[in-house]
Structure 1
Amino acid sequence: MAWRDQWQEASFRGVKFRFRSAAGALGRRNVVHEYPGRDEAYVEDMGRKAREFTFEAFVIGADYMRWRDQLEEACEKEGSGELVHPTRGRMQVAVQDCRPTENIDAGGMASYALTFIQDGGNLNPSVRVDTSAAVDIAGDNATDAASKDFSKSFKVDGMPDFVNNDALATINDAMDGIRAAANGMMPDMSILPAFNAAAGGILGKLTALMRLPTDLASGIAGQIAGLRALGTSPLSAFNALATLFQFGKHAQTSGYVPAVPVTPARIQQASNRAAVQTLVRRIALIEAAKASSSVKYASREEAIALRDNLVAKLEAEAEDGAAPDPVYFALTDLRVAVVNDIQTRAADLESLMQYTPRATVPAIVLAYQIYEDPERDEDIVARNRVKHPGFVPGGRALELLTG
């Protein structure tokens, strides 16, 4: 296309004008620092200069006065307006200067020296709450409350051997559950050896750790937190942690014998079991909440579904009759932080829709028909588990993003 074909008719706020020449002033805003005893100056770049455009413009014709008045009215209006630059296209500008000239020797014409400044708008700094960080902070507080509650409930010192042995078995069950959660996902193989070594370290000194409930709680919590780092994505880590949400709610093995709290030793045996199982559930929920703040949700519906599931579990754990006030308040604060985080991030997500193609077509064709973007074919295939991207079956409802 020839350059003349690309020129546009100049106008400002919809009022057209003719022009003889157009010029501009571009560049950077530099501050030059010159120092005593130094020959070279230091130039500090303060950003791009405001772009300035000038025109030698005119209006002409038998009715030029009406045209002149319209252009001058447009130039005197408050605020910025749209300039159609003949070679640079449309832009928002403010009028810096408008100098009209009328000459008796050139009757029927008014000339102008027009100066415009490109206006980028008043972009005031905005404050946005880091909702993900709020989830992490609330999660750390909840972990601290859960660990302190465990330390108050778990005790083996001065207890009969059967209490010690039962506590060992319960903790081993917990570690088996944590390892099963790790094996159930696609773990990061570079981290897996360190994860297994940490688990072995806990089990290797378990007899000593049981007499230090605070350290034992820290070890178990750290091992569960390790699942979050082990996952190949925050969502895979969340799903692995979710397998521990109900830990201890049912018999762990066919040989499980409930502790009957009829003597002080039996009461402590039952307390130890409950303390370990409750700690695993609470820490799994807390770490899952932290993982949720890093999940990249594919749609608004996916985000809301995960939120509702997690919030219900946190609420149930907080309102468990055995939860003391510090744990209740910490888990409630975490639940509120999760809701705020997911709702904030979900607001910018696309929703899902149902679409039924009339005929079998390639995914790339369908992506262009729906989105005018053939590169979105992979999402169509993955979201609907299409066997072959060249044949998206017609007559079957597909789940697609709205935009």
Structure 2
Amino acid sequence: MNSLKSWVQNLKKASFKGIPFEVESHQSEFGRRIVSHSFPYKDKPYNEDLGKKQRSLQITGFLVGDNYFAKRDKLIEAVEKGKSGELIHPYLGSMEVECASISVSESHTKGRFCSIQFTFLETGTQLPLKVTENKIAKVFSACAQLTEKSQKSFENKFSALNASSKYLHKMQDAIKSSMSGIKNAEKFVSSVTQLATDLSYVVRNVNSSIHKTTMFTGNISSLIYGAFCALDSCIKGSLSDKNKKAMAKLIPTYAMPGMFQMLFKNDHKNDSATYTKVQLAEQSYKKILAYKSMFKMRLFFLMQNRKRSPDEIKVDQNIYELEILIKIFTICAWCEMVTTATFLSVNDINKARDDIAEAIDSLMHNKTIDDEVYDMLYQLRSRIYDNLNSIANKLPVIYKVKIRYRQTLLNFCFEQFGNLDKENEILYLNNIKNPEYLFKGQILKVIA
């Protein structure tokens, strides 16, 4: 008959972080995290299981001997240092725990002895709460504030014109030019014929009615902003709340009933799931070109070495402020677009970032810009840099490959990558017209 070890011999020597102690008794708690939900008029509750409960261990231990002071101090120090450590439990064996508390009891009547109460908790996964900063929302917020402030600034600086002023036609021509700029910018991305037709109707109607609006600052500001929001919606193929609000003011006077209905009803959606990444990047590139075209539009041209009357100076100042206002509208819409655009490489996103920064810098250098508008432009520049740089960190880099001999793009893809996955990408990056012929020495851009 085999002899069995007594249960005492099976007990392990207790210790925490390598410091030994004796155990008098212990109590352990295990189980599940059950939350009971009670409902009105229901006899039985609903018990929700939220997972395994954290193990809790209560140990009553002791130290004895002439040198127990040193062991006691080491245990206290180990607990107060924090962090998890190995607990050798006499009954449960080795486990990784954290000591929540330690209580030491000593008595004069019990010399050379101290009692210790431990509370140990099972060590969990070290996953601290991670706060994710919404950088896109910050850009949109900065754009909204800048748009609102720029309109107020324009209204404060705009000088009302007398209806009999012989220079009134210059202001009218400037507004018509801005409408032409809006129509030309839309051509870069016109993929929905109905939207392009609706926008053209607005432009024509504004141009034919412009003599009625130039006398009122608020009318000009809301008119230009409404027309610009119509352009912005056509470019993006969707209707934001702010654009919807601006266009609602525009439509009763300058648009026929039913215009932009595909946007108002959300019938027209740019569903990214139906496009490849290369196609989305190409669409983003065209949208960026549309905003760049709008930003480059000029309304004010100062004639050198020519005396101007006070009325003409007033009109020129109005036109200049109108140009600044449209540029700010464009910058804000441009920034909103690039934060949600698709880029294939670090090179592409860095180019987009630098173009926006250059445009914002050119606005900040205007002497007529208010200090508050200047600060908002600076803040927007900082936020767009932060947003695009965080995206760039996740993108690959473009490198260049030299064709060693005449071949087709198909052969090149198989030679370099072993498949055709990058064929469309290379076609787009290099604007290849004839994929059947790559000449010797040709340089191709390829995404790593």
- CA offset at residue 348 of structure 1? 0.9
User: Is 1:264 aligned to 2:310, yes or no?
Assistant: yes
In the aligned structure 1, how far is the partner of 2:126 from the partner of 2:144? 39
Give the letter for the 2:425 counterpart.
D
Q: Secondary structure at the match of 1:386?
A: coil
- CA offset at residue 351 of structure 1? 0.7
In the aligned structure 1, how far is the partner of 2:306 from the partner of 2:232? 36
* Counterpart for residue 217 of structure 2: 213
Once the two structures are superposed, residues 202-259 of structure 1 have per-residue CA deviations (whole angstroms, 9 ceiling, x without a partner) of 44543343232123112212322333321264432221121132322675xxxx9789
Change (3 A) 1:190 1:32: farther
Superposition pairs for residues 312-327 of structure 1, below 5 Å?
312-327=358-373
- CA offset at residue 261 of structure 1? 6.1
Superposition pairs for residues 51-70 of structure 1, below 5 Å?
none
In the aligned structure 1, how far is the partner of 2:300 from the partner of 2:216? 27
2:160–2:216: 8 Å Cα contact kept in structure 1? no
In the aligned structure 2, how far is the partner of 1:294 from the partner of 1:343? 13
* Counterpart for residue 248 of structure 1: 298
* Counterpart for residue 231 of structure 1: 235
Q: CA RMSD in A?
A: 3.6
In the aligned structure 2, how far is the partner of 1:45 from the partner of 1:371? 49
Q: Which runs of 5+ in 1 are unaligned?
A: 1-27, 51-76, 80-95, 100-118
* Counterpart for residue 181 of structure 2: 177
2:36–2:46: 8 Å Cα contact kept in structure 1? yes
Once the two structures are superposed, residues 62-101 of structure 1 have per-residue CA deviations (whole angstroms, 9 ceiling, x without a partner) of xxxxxxxxxxxxxxx979xxxxxxxxxxxxxxxx9789xx
Q: Secondary structure at the match of 1:243?
A: helix
In the aligned structure 2, how far is the partner of 1:261 from the partner of 1:35? 85
- CA offset at residue 294 of structure 1? 2.0
Change (3 A) 1:202 1:249: closer
* Counterpart for residue 445 of structure 2: 399
- CA offset at residue 298 of structure 1? 1.4
Q: Aligned to 1:281, which of 322, 327, 334?
A: 327
User: Is 1:196 aligned to 2:211, yes or no?
Assistant: no
Q: Aligned to 1:355, which of 389, 396, 401?
A: 401
User: Is 1:137 aligned to 2:141, yes or no?
Assistant: yes
Change (3 A) 1:326 1:208: farther
Change (3 A) 1:390 1:170: closer
In the aligned structure 2, how far is the partner of 1:138 from the partner of 1:36? 48
* Counterpart for residue 426 of structure 2: 380
Q: Aligned to 2:347, which of 301, 305, 315?
A: 301
Q: Secondary structure at the match of 2:166?
A: helix
Superposition pairs for residues 111-126 of structure 1, below 5 Å?
122-126=126-130
1:303–1:342: 8 Å Cα contact kept in structure 2? yes
1:167–1:273: 8 Å Cα contact kept in structure 2? yes
* Counterpart for residue 383 of structure 2: 337
Change (3 A) 1:250 1:162: closer
Q: Secondary structure at the match of 1:219?
A: helix
Once the two structures are superposed, residues 264-284 of structure 1 have per-residue CA deviations (whole angstroms, 9 ceiling, x without a partner) of 312212222212222222322
Change (3 A) 1:201 1:30: farther
Give the letter for the 2:298 counterpart.
G
1:364–1:377: 8 Å Cα contact kept in structure 2? yes
Change (3 A) 1:394 1:316: same
2:190–2:196: 8 Å Cα contact kept in structure 1? no
* Counterpart for residue 132 of structure 2: 128
TM-score by length of 1: 0.65
Once the two structures are superposed, residues 165-214 of structure 1 have per-residue CA deviations (whole angstroms, 9 ceiling, x without a partner) of 22111111111121122124434334223323443454454334323212
1:361–1:393: 8 Å Cα contact kept in structure 2? yes
Once the two structures are superposed, residues 379-402 of structure 1 have per-residue CA deviations (whole angstroms, 9 ceiling, x without a partner) of 122222334445554542211011
In the aligned structure 1, how far is the partner of 2:409 from the partner of 2:329? 43
Change (3 A) 1:169 1:370: same
1:300–1:350: 8 Å Cα contact kept in structure 2? yes
Change (3 A) 1:42 1:359: farther
In the aligned structure 2, how far is the partner of 1:364 from the partner of 1:30? 60
* Counterpart for residue 66 of structure 1: none
Give the letter for the 1:319 counterpart.
H
- CA offset at residue 377 of structure 1? 2.1
In the aligned structure 1, how far is the partner of 2:204 from the partner of 2:49? 57
In the aligned structure 2, how far is the partner of 1:181 from the partner of 1:39? 67
In the aligned structure 2, how far is the partner of 1:330 from the partner of 1:34? 53
Q: Which runs of 5+ in 2 are unaligned?
A: 1-31, 54-83, 87-91, 96-122, 237-282
Change (3 A) 1:218 1:382: same
In the aligned structure 2, how far is the partner of 1:259 from the partner of 1:368? 65
Larger displacement relative to structure 2 (371-380 or 175-184): 371-380
Give the letter for the 1:130 counterpart.
N
Q: Secondary structure at the match of 1:297?
A: coil
- CA offset at residue 311 of structure 1? 0.6
Q: Secondary structure at the match of 2:399?
A: strand
Once the two structures are superposed, residues 125-174 of structure 1 have per-residue CA deviations (whole angstroms, 9 ceiling, x without a partner) of 32222222222111122212221222123233436331322211111111
The count of corresponding residues between Structure 1 and Structure 2 is: 309
Superposition pairs for residues 20-99 of structure 1, below 5 Å?
33=37, 38=42, 42=46, 44=48, 46=50
In the aligned structure 1, how far is the partner of 2:347 from the partner of 2:200? 36
Q: Secondary structure at the match of 1:345?
A: helix
TM-score by length of 2: 0.59
